[in-house]
Structure 1
Amino acid sequence: MQSKYNVKFTSTHLLCLTACICQQLYAETGSTEPVLLPAITIEAPRTNTTWLKTPASVYRIEQPENNNNTGVNLSETLKGVPGLQLNNRENYAQDLQISMRGFGARSTFGVRGIRLYVDGIPATMPDGQGQTSNIDMSSLSHVEVLGGPFSSLYGNSSGGAVLTTTKEGTGKDSVELGYSAGSHNKSRADVVLQGGSDKASEPSYVVSSSYFETDGYRDHSAAKKVLSNAKLTWDLDDGSKVNWIVNHVDINADDPQGLTRKHWQDNPKQQVAFLKQFDVRKEIDQTQTGLTWKKPINDQHELNAMVYMGQRDVTQYQSIPKGEYSINLGLDEDGNPISSTSQRNPRHAGGVIDFSRDYYGTDIRWTGKDLLPDTRLTAGLAFDYMDEDRKGYENFNAEGQYGVKGNIRRNENNTLWNLDPYVQASWNFLPTLTLDAGLRYSNVHYESDDKYIVGLNKDDSGKTDYDKVLPSAALSWAINPKINAYVSYAKGFETPTFTEMAYSKDDGMNFDLKPASSDNYELGVKAQNAWGNFTAAVFQSKTQDDIVSAGSVNGRATYKNADKTLREGVELSWNKSLWRDLSAQASYSYIDATFDAAIPESDVVKGTYIPGIAKNQAFAALNWQPETGFNAGLDVRYMDKIYVDDANSDAAPSYTVVSANAGYVWQQDDWKIKSYVRADNLFDEKYVGSVIVNDGNGRFFEPADGVNWSAGLSVTKAF
């Protein structure tokens, strides 16, 4: 406990010290003479302010023109963001593992507790489950990452928000052809068409399509992915702007699953021999489209609207044995056979998940400026709806062969929706003081209609409603034109996802899960001057009924509520243009995430660490990035150990990895040629990339790749 208080003492003094240092984003010179730094516009908080004046932990990451990456995963771009833990599972069947200040760390697949947006369109369902698989890296412009109390402005499951924006067409029509290859037979081919427009009746456009495949780092980890994205933009004569986005992704990926510590140490590339018979894999097909509209009515009024719709199909084959059912297992208090994890249990939902999901929604808001002196008002309404047909099948046939779709064992229709009104206000009541406040009524309505009622498989239909009023407030102080300090508070709210409710200890829907609510506090300072750009923040989150893992057995994850959890820590970041095209970046995150009360009938006592969260993270990078000619970069990332379960019985060890890249850009008239080569995990560190929290089979570890390389070439022709 003493060390914990020492960290609090140190972080508080670090924050005080930063107010005297003066630093953070895109300084153009290292001179000590006064300089005019470019304003960095931030869209995520919807306050129409610059990065420096936004009273929140928010970061804007530009996608470099010469990024020297394969362009497959968001983890290639989002490096070194304080508070963001982004792990590549080396498993394309389960997506990236993302958590923000510890929120979302429980996820065994997909993204939980963090809101994801692509060009203003949600990549997160109304229940809080999201995925990064449809983000097109070929046409990516920039990413904004919003953490801390201000993220509650996005409603349910907003322990943080990640907003990605793709490029708009500019200049001449052009076509870009690219190809990259790398370790484990990785290859990616892409084409990007783009062009601008000077006429309001004609859109500018960016159309991008890519094909990626790999044999995978581990046994049974091959994957294929097709991704296409199109964006049309109209800048109309009346000052309004319209974006139309269409996106499609198709993924077929094998799942190597986790390893025990012994298996990982013996051979990190292996798949457990027993699991090979199941041919565990996932197939994803998703198409969505959306329209955004921004209309300035006059100098004081502005309207913004977004509407979207999509369809997602997923088929997943799991490694669940068919088992043997015997009445000798006994009966429960209701006279039903005791549950088992084998599919011979009449209540079991099978070893194949198959669902089709239709979703749509809208978000409409009005903004008024200076209707009251020095005040900006926003009022909006967000609506989201999802309809899901979920089926389960046995993963074996009559001959006992695994890895095929057998008899149906589950058939239900699930619907959920939310209708969230919200208001925001920003009042600059003194020249150096600004008060920002927000209020959102977040609500989610679940209903499940069970259509598979056979024998002992009873009717699991049901419905439940969750709702919460989410206030937020922030006071910011412009110490001088180059330094801002702020303090903020917000109430957070997170409902269980439908997937997390899908299984309970008796194999029916787990409607007993409660939503989590949190009180979030932050004290921060930002500086932007000739020394660079600097941020520091101290935060605390107290959560009631936190949703935590209750164990995962044979690929079937269940969840429960923890009475109280506590997350507190400090975040620091700095970056600067050092000389000409040479820039540096560094960040550090500390988070102490613990259960703040014991959980009955478990190994959790007060002070036990929440699994899946690294206490310390650090990142540093140096980049030489001219528009043409030679470019290069070097980065170092440190990750502290991560506990694998509630009992803290084991941990993935800490690690440090180094990556290096180099490239060359040649441009002549309407031709542009880019080439690159990169090496990741340069010193062949043996480490665990992510953990499967509370896995009931003890297969917690998902090994990361050793030293690996990639190289690529692209050719662009303008017409």
Structure 2
Amino acid sequence: MTSTYIETAPFEVPASIEALGPAQFAAGRMRPGAAQALGGAAGVLARDRQNQAQDVQLSIRGFGARSAFGIRGLRVYVDGIPATMPDGQGQVSHADLSSADRIEVLRGPFSALHGNSSGGVIQIFTAQGEGPPRLSFDLSAGSYGALGAGLRLAGETAGVRHMLGLGRDQGDGYRAHSDWSRSQSNARLDFGEDAGSRWTLVANGLRLQARDPLGLPRERFESEPRSAVPAAFSFDPRKSVAQEQAGLVHERRLDDRQTFRVMAYGGWRHTQQYLALPVAAQRAPTSAGGMIDLVRDYGGLDARWSWRAIDGPRPLTVVAGLGYDGLAERRRGHENFAGEALGVRGALRRDETNRVTAFDRYLQMSWSFAARWSLDLGLRRSTVRMGSDDRYLVPGSGGDSGDDSGALRHDTTLPSAGLVYRVSDGLRLYAAAARGYEVPTVNEISYRPDGAAGLNLELRPARSASVELGIKARAGGLGRIEAAVFRTRTRDEIVTAANVGGRASFRNAGATERSGYELGWSREWPGGLSARVALGRLDARFAGGSPACAAPPCASQSGATLPGVPRDTIFAALAWMPPQGWQAGVEARRIGRAQVDDRNSDHARAYAALDAWAGYLVRTGPWELRGFARVDNALDRRYAGSVIVNEANGRFFEPAPGRNWSAGLSVSRALQR
């Protein structure tokens, strides 16, 4: 495992950490999405919004649940390259999970090792090419016009391991006005390998077009779950994304004790998004319009040195590193109308350049100081700077000149500590504690809750203190068992002040508390039979007062449940996957009810769903053929797949589809050298 900087078996880490392989996240699927891949991980809530314009909702122990789009409050990496920007805003839409080898999920206090916005850490690793080159093609189809196709070339040629992939997916969507298309490219090259050196080059690209059906109010959600509100048709809210990025990682063993690793990356992302904002609101002098045109250039560097003393009776490992990440964006806002025409680019209402940099220094130590004890310590110093240069000056909106430029800086030191006790060869007890923080993203400071123009520079970072106690057991015939209890207290929690037509503004709450437990069990039997269960309880509440705000709904009361966070989650899966022939599996989940706003005025009801799949795998000579068919929500339950937190118009609910099907076929052939 690499999620804690020191490569250690997860059984020895004083943290809740899980590694998912293709058998867990891709069984019975041809091209899995993030919601499907992560839905069975303990402590992780992965919600498919059935809205490709807003991406998947991901949260870990409640961190990230407030996100109006993309991923928030978590750190995401793809092949070691950050998919989380220096301000904390992340995306996972560019990750090609069909070619992934494993997904690591780190929960709890030790996530703070990764600095800002690390309520949890998700790392996705593309499979390394090996053996003779193999060419693969897959084709899949499903309900609601879903179509997918992928082409991959993987193997080793002239000393270069390669995994090259192209993919295309599209669909009409479960709901009205939710059609979408996505094209992906992904490449990983491993080369220059010798006894003490290795290079890895990764690159990927994304093209996305998606319409936004918006949320539904309670009455319409109950009666017409596949519908969209009239604003979705009149303003045609939609999003287009183009993204390219690349990164290079070099690892070198300096001697028997020392290793040096350096990573550099860069990329750009262009987003155009049309929102469903009323014309009158867009005409206000301080409005930024209803259409966003955002171009981001980003890049960074991470260098770390590690030293191991493993030849004595008390092994010691030390890692020290520096990290720098930078982001420059050109943000423009236009009206989403021109004359009487709605849903078109109109007059310019916002023009600014924003810059964010993050500079981190970190140190981690792991020491087996006694025969049965080991100690892990971490320290990270983080500095985040944000600045905005306003190019659209409107007198009266930001001082006498209308200049809404501004700058801010956040500094913090994040300590972490963990202790492991080896009870026996198959049993570990551990304890961990850490401090974390989460700075507001550029998007979160982009709009003021009172509707005035300019940045919301009064928004403060959220700061947290976390503790965790856990047990890990490898119980032979009983399988693998892991359990943890945890508690996190956060002050100045960043919460949604209002969410109108796709535009969200944010504020600081007084304090919040998250406490609960998680339990995971898995076992494998001869012949390809496996089972796993993950369950958890999370009590996430406001624990202190909240400042007044300009417009409802934003009044938080002590004791109210954090919106978007279910109290109970249960996942269970049983799969039979022999090396050849018939395969089959069944998955069941239950998700507790989730509040829709800070006032707890309504909630999405708890639900249970059942999925099942069957397939056939045959290998003959250089050929491999695999086919599958699956049914999701086999019992045809009606429920809200996700909620839009604090949606000001009361359109909180995003319905999940009823019973739906998918099927696919893949063919691959080993090529001659």
Amino acid of the structure 2 residue aligned with 1:161: V
Aligned: 1:345 with 2:284: yes
Q: Secondary structure at the match of 2:342?
A: coil
Alignment correspondent of 2:261: 304
Alignment correspondent of 1:615: 567
Alignment correspondent of 2:303: 364
Amino acid of the structure 2 residue aligned with 1:448: S
Aligned: 1:673 with 2:632: no
Q: TM-score, normalization: structure 2? A: 0.96
Alignment correspondent of 1:77: 37
Alignment correspondent of 1:55: 14
Alignment of 1:173-212 (within 5 A): 173-197=133-157, 202-212=159-169
Maintained 8 Å contact 2:215/2:652: yes
Q: How many residues align?
A: 656
Alignment of 1:185-264 (within 5 A): 185-197=145-157, 202-264=159-221
Aligned-partner Cα distance in 2 for 1:600–1:204: 56
1:5-47 CA-partner distances (Å, limit 9, x unpaired): xxxxxxxxxxxxxxxxxxxxxxxxxxxxxxxxxxxxx121122
Q: CA deviation at 1:275?
A: 3.0
Maintained 8 Å contact 1:93/1:253: yes
Alignment correspondent of 1:514: 460
Alignment correspondent of 1:572: 519
Q: Secondary structure at the match of 1:312?
A: strand
Aligned-partner Cα distance in 1 for 2:289–2:54: 19
Maintained 8 Å contact 2:168/2:182: yes
Aligned: 1:585 with 2:532: yes
> Could you tell which deviates more after superposition, 494-503 or 46-55?
46-55
Alignment of 1:627-646 (within 5 A): 627-646=579-598
Amino acid of the structure 1 residue aligned with 2:282: Q
Maintained 8 Å contact 2:414/2:434: yes
Aligned: 1:101 with 2:61: yes
Q: Secondary structure at the match of 1:597?
A: coil
Q: CA deviation at 1:606?
A: 1.4
5+ residue gaps, structure 1, are: 1-41, 324-341
1:619-672 CA-partner distances (Å, limit 9, x unpaired): 111000112111010010000000000110100000000000110011100001
Aligned-partner Cα distance in 1 for 2:453–2:199: 47
Alignment correspondent of 1:465: 409
Maintained 8 Å contact 2:178/2:213: yes
Aligned-partner Cα distance in 2 for 1:554–1:283: 17
Aligned: 1:498 with 2:442: yes
Q: CA deviation at 1:404?
A: 0.7
Q: Secondary structure at the match of 2:544?
A: coil
Alignment correspondent of 2:338: 397
Amino acid of the structure 2 residue aligned with 1:64: A
Aligned: 1:378 with 2:324: no
Q: Secondary structure at the match of 1:610?
A: coil
Q: CA deviation at 1:51?
A: 1.5
Alignment correspondent of 1:543: 490
Alignment correspondent of 1:165: 125
Aligned-partner Cα distance in 2 for 1:481–1:681: 41
Aligned-partner Cα distance in 2 for 1:139–1:579: 26
Q: Secondary structure at the match of 1:429?
A: coil
Maintained 8 Å contact 1:156/1:443: no
Aligned: 1:387 with 2:331: no
Maintained 8 Å contact 1:551/1:695: yes
> Could you tell which deviates more after superposition, 482-491 or 578-587?
578-587
Aligned-partner Cα distance in 1 for 2:27–2:269: 30
Q: CA deviation at 1:687?
A: 0.3
Aligned-partner Cα distance in 1 for 2:73–2:436: 10
Maintained 8 Å contact 1:230/1:247: yes
Alignment of 1:253-292 (within 5 A): 253-292=210-249
Alignment correspondent of 1:408: 348
Maintained 8 Å contact 1:584/1:623: yes
Maintained 8 Å contact 1:69/1:76: no
Amino acid of the structure 2 residue aligned with 1:95: D
- Identical-residue share of aligned pairs (%): 41
> Could you tell which deviates more after superposition, 76-85 or 294-303?
76-85
Q: CA deviation at 1:72?
A: 4.3
Maintained 8 Å contact 1:204/1:232: yes
Q: CA deviation at 1:274?
A: 3.5
Q: CA deviation at 1:143?
A: 0.1
Aligned-partner Cα distance in 1 for 2:264–2:336: 38
Alignment correspondent of 2:475: 529
Q: CA deviation at 1:600?
A: 3.7
Maintained 8 Å contact 1:515/1:547: yes
Q: CA deviation at 1:193?
A: 0.6
5+ residue gaps, structure 2, are: 549-553
Counterparts in 2 of 1:563 and 1:605: CA distance versus 1, 3 Å: same
Aligned-partner Cα distance in 1 for 2:487–2:653: 29
Q: CA deviation at 1:48?
A: 2.0
Alignment correspondent of 1:653: 605
Alignment correspondent of 1:440: 380
Aligned: 1:427 with 2:367: yes
Aligned-partner Cα distance in 2 for 1:48–1:647: 44
Maintained 8 Å contact 2:177/2:232: no
Q: CA deviation at 1:234?
A: 1.1
Q: Name which of 439, 447, 450 aligns with 2:390.
A: 450
Q: CA deviation at 1:235?
A: 4.7
Maintained 8 Å contact 2:405/2:454: no
Amino acid of the structure 1 residue aligned with 2:7: N
Q: CA deviation at 1:554?
A: 3.0
Counterparts in 2 of 1:195 and 1:579: CA distance versus 1, 3 Å: closer
Maintained 8 Å contact 2:586/2:613: yes
Amino acid of the structure 1 residue aligned with 2:472: K
Maintained 8 Å contact 1:138/1:192: no
Aligned-partner Cα distance in 2 for 1:423–1:195: 37
1:684-713 CA-partner distances (Å, limit 9, x unpaired): 100000000001000000111111100000
Q: Secondary structure at the match of 2:122?
A: strand
Counterparts in 2 of 1:491 and 1:67: CA distance versus 1, 3 Å: same
Aligned-partner Cα distance in 1 for 2:74–2:460: 18
Alignment correspondent of 2:551: none
Q: Secondary structure at the match of 1:68?
A: coil
Alignment of 1:309-324 (within 5 A): 309-323=266-280
Maintained 8 Å contact 2:445/2:455: yes
Aligned-partner Cα distance in 2 for 1:99–1:76: 14
Q: CA deviation at 1:555?
A: 2.5
1:551-606 CA-partner distances (Å, limit 9, x unpaired): 11233211000111000000000000134210000011100000001224354221
More relative contact order in 1 or in 2 (CA 8 Å, sep 6+)?
1
Aligned-partner Cα distance in 2 for 1:696–1:236: 55
Aligned-partner Cα distance in 1 for 2:193–2:501: 55
Q: TM-score, normalization: structure 1? A: 0.90
Aligned-partner Cα distance in 2 for 1:301–1:44: 19
Q: Secondary structure at the match of 2:368?
A: strand
Counterparts in 2 of 1:567 and 1:710: CA distance versus 1, 3 Å: same
